[in-house]
Structure 1
Amino acid sequence: MSEHARRYGPDLVEGRIDDIRQAPSGFTARSFDASWSPRSVLLATGVTNRRPELDDHTHSEALARGHLRYCPVCDGYEVSGLNVAVLGSDARAVSEAEFLRSFTDRVTLISTVSHAVEADLRRRLERIGATIRLGPVKGMRLLAGGLEVITAGRPEIYDAVYPALGSSIHSRLAKMLGATATEDGCIEVDRHQRTTIKHLYAAGDVVYGLDQISVCNGQAAIAAVAIRNDLWAEKQSLWPHEARRPS
């Protein structure tokens, strides 16, 4: 995608924006050693999935081998008929277990706490025939045949483990500008990806919705057209930069 973008002349800069403020011309965005003054800003800062306690090497290897997965919507079909576990204790974890149950009849919810799962959530799991294991999770080991999860009970090996531990949503810059966000922290946008701050747009996982690359790409396309149209409405600019006069 970077090579594709470079064909059209933008500057691609690696860095971290630490501060962004509104300015007369639009915004001022600053990193540690540079600043920019854009007329519009599109935030695609995403989220970070909360990880189970695994060292970086084991985590990467488990992902590469398909024994650790984060998105049932993305790849649930790949675990069809396999022995699958979901890590979590809340309604979101139960929903993931229910989603995966349409692909396999071997689904276990491993609670991240030692007390029993809430009664209404337990009934939902019992309704689909899922197994419930009490936590907390004391350790995980990557083995040749899968990912071993260790709790107070007997260790069990699973073909795939889905952590349902929530996400950290990177909406700090939007909040810094006063943009409205959901209780979870997702940036609120209209159907053209506009936030509640003029000329500030957002797309991708940082916006509430289905966290999928195809969805992100679609939102980015919508935002790009909105940015162009909103700027045009304020100051029409023809190519080249002066209107061609009739001869």
Structure 2
Amino acid sequence: MSHSSLDSELWDVIILGGGAAGLSAALILARARRRVLVLDAHRPRNRFAAHMHGVLSRDGYSPLDLVADGRREVRAVDGVIVETTVIEARAIDGVFEVVTEDGSRATGRRLIAATGARDELPDLPGLAEQWGRGVFGCPYCDGYEASGRAIGVLLGTAAGVHKAHMLRSYSSDITVFTGLAGPLPEQERLVLERRGMRLEDRPVVGVETEEDRLTGIRLDGGEVVGLDVVFAEPTLVARDETLHQLGVDRIEGPMGEWTAVDAVGRTSVPGVWAVGNSAIPSALVPLAMGSGAAAALAINGELVAEEVAAAAATVSDASSPGAAVSDASVSDAVEVSA
């Protein structure tokens, strides 16, 4: 689609981000015959992983293949996907205008932010190169594959010990590295040791590899602790610049300050929604998909209600049976969106 076509059309819904959450919302809305535009920079958070896990019917599937499948499905029902980066979003006269990096503009009745988040890794030599291969962040995603192996848990904060406890189910060979986190409370140390985990307090200086395969963590002084896999504690950073521009409310949570949403993704700004990691920082792929679907159903319900209300307003005799039916239809549509 040409950029001039983007500028000239009023879209029912513009979706910022085309990962699992954004494409799930787009698929449902496009199948509801809504005019849907997805603007996507094609940098999903899980692009570093070769496989997804815990995704029903897609366990072990490539996350990039999932996105490619989703794009085909959305386009097959007339959804439009443009690969670009949105740099600005604003509300103008009851609609939303977004501006892309090349200056193109698009206008929509509703806006869904599905821009997600990014992982900010500890500044440790060799760590980024192994991210998604020998170094992971999520026990639910990659813990099973580490079963029975030598696992290192690289703490970034004292609170990160919960990850070590989660991983204990998979292996009895676990070393917890505290060098980046600082001293742990004595009670935490005792509990970790009681559960059979080793504690290593010396400073960590790098990740060791052999033929591009992770082999351990190097400590200050030169000693290498041999490992098969490392679970790190990256800082999750929201890609929420457009939501900031729109002035949505935020709320403090376990992973820091995040966009505040209700159960179906509504933000504090009417007409603006957030899904996936934009709304739920801890959401795995299935939860991200579900949040996109929930928002799509609610948005379509709102649009149906508006359309029915507009039709009802044209009925000249408000007391006629036809008008009464229209009023009831409005109530039904609003109920769907709730």
Which category describes the TM-score, using the shorter chain as reference length?
0.7 to 0.9
What's the % identity of the aligned pairs? 25
- Aligned-pair CA distance for 1:203: 1.0
After TM superposition, list the pairs within 5 Å mapping 1:114-153 onto structure 2: 115-143=182-210, 146-153=214-221
* Aligned residue number for residue 76 of structure 2: 7
User: What secondary structure sits across from 2:82 in the alignment?
Assistant: coil
Native 8 Å contact 2:117 2:281 kept in 1? no
Query: Using the alignment, how far apart are the partners of 2:268 and 2:181 within structure 1?
Result: 42
> Which of these residues, 224, 230, 233, is aligned with residue 296 of structure 2?
224
Residue range with higher mean Cα deviation, 149-158 or 12-21 = 149-158
Residue 42 of structure 1: how far off its partner (Å): 0.9
Q: Does 1:51 align with 2:121?
A: yes
2:233 maps to 1:164:
yes
Is 1:22 the counterpart of 2:94? The answer is: no
Contact 1:45 1:170 in 2 (8 A): yes
Structure-1-length-normalised TM-score? 0.85
Deviation at 1:89, TM superposition (A): 3.8
Counterpart in 2 of 1:102?
169
Q: Deviations over 1:131-162 (max 9, x none)?
A: 12225321112225633211225211211111
In 2, Cα distance between equivalents of 1:218 and 1:49? 22
Partner of 2:275: 203
The secondary structure found in structure 2 opposite 1:37 is strand
**1:147 is aligned with what amino acid?**
T
1:136-191 superposed Cα distances (whole Å, 9 cap, x missing partner): 32111222563321122521121111111321122222122121222313222111
Corresponding residue for 1:188?
A: 260
Match of 1:83 in 2: 150
Deviation at 1:38, TM superposition (A): 1.0
Give TM-score scaled by structure 2 length.
Answer: 0.63
Number of matched pairs = 235
Contact 1:87 1:165 survives alignment (8 Å): no
Q: 2: CA distance between counterparts of 1:24 and 1:98?
A: 52
Structure 1 residue identity aligned to 2:95: G
Structure 1 residues 126 and 112, CA, compared in 2 at 3 Å: closer, same or farther?
same
Tell me: CA distance 1:23–1:131, structure 2 relative to 1, closer, same or farther (3 Å).
same
Moved more, 96-105 or 184-193: 184-193
Gaps of 5+ in 1: 239-247
How far apart are 1:235 and its partner, in Å? 2.7
Instruction: Spell out, residue by residue over 1:62-111, the C-alpha distance to the aligned partner (whole angstroms, 9 max, x if none).
Output: 356x4222211112111111110111142442010000001111111212
Task: Name the SS of the counterpart of 2:283 in structure 1.
Answer: coil
Q: CA RMSD in A?
A: 2.4
Confirm or deny: 8 A CA contact 2:157 2:180 kept in the other structure. Answer: no
Q: 1:9 to 1:155 in 2, by over 3 A?
A: same
Q: Aligned in 2, Cα 1:82/1:190: closer, same or farther, shift over 3 Å?
A: same
